[in-house]
Chains A and B, each alone.
Chain A
Amino acid sequence: MQEATFLILTALAAGSQHGYGIITDVQEISRGRVRLRAGTLYTALERLRTDELIAVDREEIVENRLRRYYRLTPKGSGLLAAEAGRLQANAAAALSRLDLAGGMA
């Protein structure tokens, strides 16, 4: 899973969000390192919807503009949890080996 996809799913993990909310949340989660643009975001959302990892939660009209809220599906939650576990295990392995190398030095 690419980082931006991981971050989009992470942004939706706490609850449903609309497009602009996802952009700002991804920027916050990544500490400003990843800034999605609208075209890129909606290409990703289209693909995630096709893969049934996310779904439309509801629609609202705010100041005459359409807001569509997206939420994680159970399949998306499962995939995100698996990916987070994999990253965590890899990070733990890397840190432990670095500690080991530091101890030997």
Chain B
Amino acid sequence: MIEPTALERGYRRLLAWYPRSFRAAQEEEILAVLMAGAEQGQRRPRFAEAVDLIRSAVRMRLWPGRSGPERRDLADGLAVFSLVAPLFLLVAGILQVVLPYHTSMAADLVRFTGPPRDVGGMSLLRVHLFDITVGCEAVIAALVLLGQRLLAMLAIAAAAVYWAVSSWWMPSIPYPLQLITAGVYLVVMAALLASPGPRRGRELVNWRHGAMLLLAAVAFQGFAFWYAAKGNMVLGFGYDPVTPLYPLAGVVLVIAAVVLAVAARINRYFLLVCAAACYPCAAQLVFARFHTDLLGNPTPARLAALFVPPVLFALGVVFTAAVRHSLDDHGEMPIRRVTSP
């Protein structure tokens, strides 16, 4: 077997910048071209070659071709997210509101945890607010299932206004629900704008997404219970011995969801978008671990820490799609021209 030269290793390192699917198909071929163009005795890639390869690779990752595998990955990941995320919120909302308060589970929970108090982040007194919230989530989920992109976006905007107004007169809306809702809807709006839409998502969604969604929703509920129990301790309701189990169960379920996603080879762009949507909730949990309540005392810096990353991500998704459409309209990728000396 021929040992690769230093030059070949250098080129391979540069080619690693390209998307995996492109490398699988083209790496050996491009390497042959690069090696054929190398000068006698050349030991490492020239600077201009490195710049050209990295620039082309980054461009391919950001603005993949119209129908190449990476393009399909990105667009399809967004399309699935635009369908699955509203369903996730609906499942999480049902777990938090409908089950504890409108079924026999409510009585069981109250019996188990003592006198009436917050359960899962919800106060019994606020049940109508959250019923309306779950109603909004059900409408949004139904609209994306029906493939009504524009109506879904309008419904999300209306739900956002409702949340904002509710927060004005009810500042103690439970943090996990508030954060996950804000983060997910921000990114769902971007995904609805930038993807082929929920109709395409409907074609692609499968049981793996459903299983991951359910695990994540139950994990989220575990964290919500933890918040409620901590709040109750502060309010003097006493220590609930089950409290440490809530975050533990949440972490185990999150790990299970991630393992399932990796094992089932779920679209990585879909996972990236999910991570961005969950960021505010995760940040709140991480900072809470260090006794910093970002949303409890919302200074501008803390709100920025919570919401600027998903806002930037959502803008990035929309910008990327806009530039891609612009390139598609012209039917061209800009091509570097070098005037020879």
- Specify which chain A residues have a CB less than 8 angstroms from the CB of B57 in the assembled complex: 39
Contact present for B333 and A47 (CB under 8 Å): yes
Contact present for A68 and B332 (CB under 8 Å): no
B341's closest neighbor in chain A, by CB?
Answer: A32
Contact present for B60 and A46 (CB under 8 Å): yes
- Specify which chain B residues have a CB less than 8 angstroms from the CB of A35 in the assembled complex: 337-340
Query: Contacts A2-B335, A44-B333, A64-B2 known; A37 to B66 CB distance under 8 Å?
Result: no
Complex: A37 Cα to B54 Cα, angstroms: 12
Most chain B beta-carbon contacts within 10 A, residue among A2, A23, A27, A33: A2
A40's closest neighbor in chain B, by CB?
Answer: B336
Contact present for B335 and A68 (CB under 8 Å): no
- Specify which chain A residues have a CB less than 8 angstroms from the CB of B49 in the assembled complex: 37-39
B residues 281-327 near A (Cβ < 8 Å) are: none
Of A5, A51, A66, the residue contacting B335 (CB under 8 A) is A5
A interface size (C-beta, 8 A): 33
B241 interface residue (CB < 8 Å to A): no
- Specify which chain A residues have a CB less than 8 angstroms from the CB of B32 in the assembled complex: 19-20, 62, 65-67
- Specify which chain A residues have a CB less than 8 angstroms from the CB of B338 in the assembled complex: 34-37
- Specify which chain A residues have a CB less than 8 angstroms from the CB of B60 in the assembled complex: 43, 46
Complex: A20 Cα to B30 Cα, angstroms: 9
B330's closest neighbor in chain A, by CB?
Answer: A2
Contact present for A51 and B340 (CB under 8 Å): no
- Specify which chain A residues have a CB less than 8 angstroms from the CB of B67 in the assembled complex: 50
Contact present for B37 and A20 (CB under 8 Å): yes
How far is the CB of A32 from the nearest CB of chain B, in Å? 4
A3's closest neighbor in chain B, by CB?
Answer: B337
Complex: A51 Cα to B331 Cα, angstroms: 9
Query: Contacts A38-B30, A51-B331 known; A65 to B35 CB distance under 8 Å?
Result: yes
Contact present for B28 and A66 (CB under 8 Å): yes
Of A20, A34, A38, the residue contacting B52 (CB under 8 A) is A38
Contact present for B333 and A33 (CB under 8 Å): no
- Specify which chain B residues have a CB less than 8 angstroms from the CB of A3 in the assembled complex: 337
B338's closest neighbor in chain A, by CB?
Answer: A35
How far is the CB of A19 from the nearest CB of chain B, in Å? 4
B337's closest neighbor in chain A, by CB?
Answer: A34
- Specify which chain B residues have a CB less than 8 angstroms from the CB of A2 in the assembled complex: 332, 334-335
B33's closest neighbor in chain A, by CB?
Answer: A19
Contact present for A23 and B37 (CB under 8 Å): yes
- Specify which chain A residues have a CB less than 8 angstroms from the CB of B335 in the assembled complex: 2, 4-5, 36, 40, 43-44
Q: Could you mark each residue 3-47 of chain A with 1 if its beta carbon is under 8 Å from any beta carbon of chain B, else 0?
A: 111000000000000111001000100001111111111111011
A104 interface residue (CB < 8 Å to B): no
B residues 26-54 near A (Cβ < 8 Å) are: 26, 28-37, 48-49, 52-54
Query: Contacts A38-B52, A39-B56, A66-B29 known; A46 to B337 CB distance under 8 Å?
Result: no
How far is the CB of A75 from the nearest CB of chain B, in Å? 13
Beyond A37-B48, A67-B29, 6 additional contacts (C-beta under 8 Å) are: A41-B33, A43-B60, A44-B335, A46-B22, A46-B68, A47-B333
User: Can you show 6 pairs from A to B with CB atoms below 8 A apart?
Assistant: A35-B340, A38-B30, A43-B335, A46-B26, A62-B32, A67-B29
The interface of chain B, by Cβ under 8 A from chain A, is 2, 22, 26, 28-37, 48-49, 52-57, 59-60, 65-68, 331-340
